[in-house]
Structure 1
Amino acid sequence: MGMKCFADFNNGRTGEIGGIYAVPTTKLSNVSHGLTQAAPRLKNVSVLTTDTIPHGVQFWDATLGKGCYDKWLRKEFHLAEKIIENLNDWLKAWIDVSDNSDQKVCTYKTEDTTREQFSKVPYVLDHEGAATYRGVKSSAEHGLTEWRSSRAESSLEKFHELLAHFANIGCKSEFANALIARGTAEHNVGARWRYDCMVQCQQGSRLPHPEYVDQTPIFMDHSLLDHLNQQSTSLGFDALFKECQVPEVGNEKEVFFSNYCTDQMERNKQEGTVASTKVCLCDDCKDKYKSPQTTSVARRRSGIARAVDRSTAAA
């Protein structure tokens, strides 16, 4: 069906997955629609990160505004000047070095590629108010504090490792969607359980289960727990499972998995995106941006913008 990859996002605090979209290519224009439809669920985030910044910054500015997307997380605690200095030192140390067979250690592109990163350094610095690590008390004899990263990418990469096992791409899309949905739901239950256990322990609460259960949820299927709660209350009893959480339908038009890919390929033919920002121009998206895309929408309706948008997507 032309699916090349998955685009997904997560809650860096708990590690829960918020959306997965099968897409024809890795271009931002192919996931623009999905992220726009998910925007109401992203409005309250304090820091938003991607692994493509500064590419696509115009899209995030149009959809969420600079207030939520003003700074990005970094890997090392260095100032911008120090990062550039380290890159320069690395170039000086290796650019002219050859191995025993007289082959250059660096290719002819190495210096240009490295210097190109100088302009991107500001986008990898931590937001001043962002809690990039959280301390977890260790049960080991040394008593040292274990520091866990709160950056979204680490938990997202762990989910990607599981995603490969959720469904065989050779099976029918309906079956693959069902398997991926169940796998993602169970991943979220586990992530939420581990986070809640950690928070309660940090607050000094004594959990009503053995310590090893902190890493393994007691119940995986909260839809079943919700059904049992409904059965219990219908008979006049209290709900049996107080911590039951089932997904809420925040946007009925938002679709995931291969259904998104099928719809997106049709949108690419019919609607296109704004060349500068990559925002989606379909009827469900065009009024959701910080600055309404009135000019582009008017051109699309007149039939002028379609050829422009398609040529831009092809580029």
Structure 2
Amino acid sequence: MSWPSINYVGNIITWLMCTLFRCLLHTSPVCLRVLDSRKQPRWVLPSKKNNRWEVRKKFAELYDYTVRPLPFPKTGGRGPNGRIWFHRRGGGHKRRFRMIDWVRGGPTQGPPLLEKIDKIMYDPNRSARIALVAAGENKRYIIATQNMKAGDIIKSSQVLSKTAVRAAEGDSYPLGSLPVGTLVNCVEFYPGAGGLMARAAGETALLVRKVNDRCVVRMPSKREVSLDQTCVATVGRVSNVDHNKRVIGKAGRNRWLGIRPKSGRWHRKDGRFGRKIKPVKKLLVYTKPPPPKPDVYRLTV
């Protein structure tokens, strides 16, 4: 019978010490990563120097809805504890955040809401173009479609009609009111939850069929989902369809975008990395929204 080596026993003792004393010896290679917890930061109070340890709140909690571009501070790839969590992020050109109204809304009875497109704008925070629309004294940002231009009139309605409506590009209607075969974007998974599917540049979803009070939509990933017929969607394809054909051209442009370089190691790909023929996934049914997630996760050892 052979006894374990001294190094093996020493490693076990070191690991137990780190576990019991919550990684006070965090320079040890076998120490658990407790001080760098991503669920609950170690530092409760923000730093007095630059507030980089402060957990930033959502824009909806800080501001009321506005079309004014808002300041958008960068994290530099660092988490609430000041350590780098994502090594590929950092720097980049300064950006301003535009609050997008993902819920197109509209009346549930009577004629649809008419809005005029003021202008089509570039948004540095997303690949698609955005449109500033106005109705009366209210203005808001929405995702622009492919052929949308300034001066057009778009409609938004939540009326579930018995017969299919003749919707133009940019109009918003429930899926049950649209004819089968319509190309849609900004599709809701749950009624009133706002557009969650097909929001990137050039993306579109397809209304495949209707079964009773459910509508089957084919996502850009070719997977089909079953949604409620009252879920609202926008007709047409998302703008900026040539986004995937852009040429970066130089390393500096990636730094403008806030993307740091990789490690530099490069591997030539052979045939093993080719396309795999996979079976179609089963139909995904969305019935009720998931429960909200807690703000703080408690971790115990």
- TM-score if structure 2 supplies the norm length? 0.21
Looking at secondary structure, tell me which structure has more strand per residue. 2
RCO higher in structure (CA 8 A, sep ≥6): 1
Query: Which structure would you say has the larger Rg?
Result: 2
TM-score by length of 1: 0.20
